[in-house]
Structure 1
Amino acid sequence: MTRRTHTHPDLAHPEIGAPFFSTWRVGTPLRQRQTVDAIATTWQRRPWPADSLLGYHVYTGHDASTLLHYSQWRSEAAFEAFTKTHRQERVDEIDTAVPGIERLRLGRYRHYRSLSRPDDTRVPGCIVIVDIEFEGPDADRQRAWVDAVVEALEAEPNPNAGGIAAHFHRSTDGTRVLNYAEWESAQAHIEALAAPGDGIGSATELWHRVQTWPGLKGSTVSRYDHALGLVPS
């Protein structure tokens, strides 16, 4: 069966072979809450769809309009099988409860590396999604850019105490990197952005290299709250 959980997902779980991120636009805070409730009801009234799905999590955007979806699959083949047999009935029930949902994008990724402290037991109060887009596919560039970010973070002279962890994912088409960053609170992230420097880093050569990387097309930063976790019971 399907069980609801308030526990945040483990982004670095070794059995995750195919993480998926998608965004829905629903329009208002009320519709955000209604859609989360509809997802929970729709899923909990049905058996867990596949052993290959480790968890499914939904987040409400601080823009008061969007929802972020994160699902942890063992393989893309398992996800494709789910879409053929179980997905549409769930979509139809959710759309009946909350008409007019706009599904913006489904991103296929692979977890590349994470940066965290094993002794840090804080529960994230805010999830920050940094979506990086490059000019064309290049898997080596994806890896090199993430490695450069990690190097800059580890050498940061003024680390922000509100940061908990960063989990970097490479899109399977080679064009994007997604950083799922766990923060103590939204205010901690806001204060980090307001500090000297461009973004959360200080004005160092390492951060300058990250920000001016060849082929870097653009980036967006979005804040979310964990609203729903679904796992097999």
Structure 2
Amino acid sequence: MSPVPRTPRRTSTHPDLGDPRVGAPFFSTWRVGTPDRQRQTVDAVAEAWGRRPWPADGLLSYHVYAGEDGSTLLHHSQWASEQAYEAFVRTLRQERVDEIDTAVPGIERLGLGRYRYYRGASAGPDGRAPGCVVIVEVEFDGPDADRQRAWADAVLEALAAEPAPHPAGMAAHFHLSTDGRRVLNYAQWESAEAHAEALSAPGEGVGSATAQWQRVRNWPGLKNSTVRRYEHALGLVPA
């Protein structure tokens, strides 16, 4: 007897970034233009996925986040392997894309970032739910896996040595791009307002004027960095 297909289940719980089953975490951004189109696109994603069986045992979760800019959506999917994702692309992805594009024409897909989870740190298991996800992404001037790891390690060292940590900062989870050029920090904050407050404090961003933070900000080969805030809009997991 064939197994009964699993169905998608909506969840408000954020993903477990350090889940050891995840071998291929992916991030992508869609530009949709306006807050109304953000909401319409999230609804279209929920509809397109909800009417179909969960596509693969190798997909552990799929989450969508609305950008504070009112124009973008961040997509984060957790796959067991790249092979599982590629099989989904070959057979099941396009029908979902077509339905979403029919509901909300003109979506601009800005590319897929392939990563591997490296390590993370949290402020402690205090039971708070993150109200804001901050994506900090840095790019280096060339591929270097050792440099990716060393920079992420340096950030975590700076966080651990921070003399005045902001109480609303909850966690930082570092992902290394498979091309060796980028590091993505998926940071969890209590609220967008708290993160904006931390950025506006005297200095060069989140973090005091310590030697550890100066080292992070002046890392050799650091080409550019971006900081973007998001709100969790949709979570899907297999039922």
Q: Which residue of 2 aligns with 1:146?
A: 152
SS in 1 for 2:83: helix
Using structure 2 for the length normalisation, give the TM-score.
0.96
Residue 209 of structure 1 corresponds to 215
Work out which of the residue numbers 93, 96, 104 in structure 2 matches 1:90.
96
Residues 1:17 and 2:23 are matched in the alignment: yes
Q: Deviations over 1:79-121 (max 9, x none)?
A: 0000000000000000000000000020000000011144221
User: What is the aligned-residue identity percentage?
Assistant: 73
Q: How many residues align?
A: 233
Structure 1 residue 232: Cα displacement:
0.5
Question: 1:167 aligned to 132, 156, 173, which one?
Answer: 173
Paired residue for 1:224? 230
2:200 counterpart letter in structure 1: A
Which letter maps to 1:55? Answer: S
Question: What RMSD, in angstroms, separates the aligned Cα atoms of the two structures?
Answer: 0.6
1:231 partner SS: strand
Q: Which runs of 5+ in 2 are unaligned?
A: 1-6
Q: TM-score, normalised by structure 1?
A: 0.99
Q: Summarize deviations over 1:31-73 as a string: whole Å, max 9, x none.
A: 0000000000000000000001000000000000000000000
Q: Name the structure 1 match of 2:42.
A: 36
Q: Distance in 1 between matches of 2:37 and 2:233?
A: 13
* 2:63 corresponds to: 57
Q: Structure 1: any 5+ residue segments left out of the alignment?
A: none
Partners of 2:124 and 2:170 within 8 A in 1: no
Report what 2:10 is aligned to: 4
Letter in 2 for 1:43: W
Q: Deviations over 1:108-166 (max 9, x none)?
A: 00000011144221100000000100001000000000000000000001100010000
Distance 2:176 2:126 in 1: 25
SS in 2 for 1:219: strand
Residue equivalent to 2:85: 79
Letter in structure 2 aligned against 1:72:
Q
Letter in 1 for 2:117: H
How far apart, CA to CA, are the structure 1 residues paired with 2:132 and 2:125? Answer: 19
Distance 2:126 2:219 in 1: 31
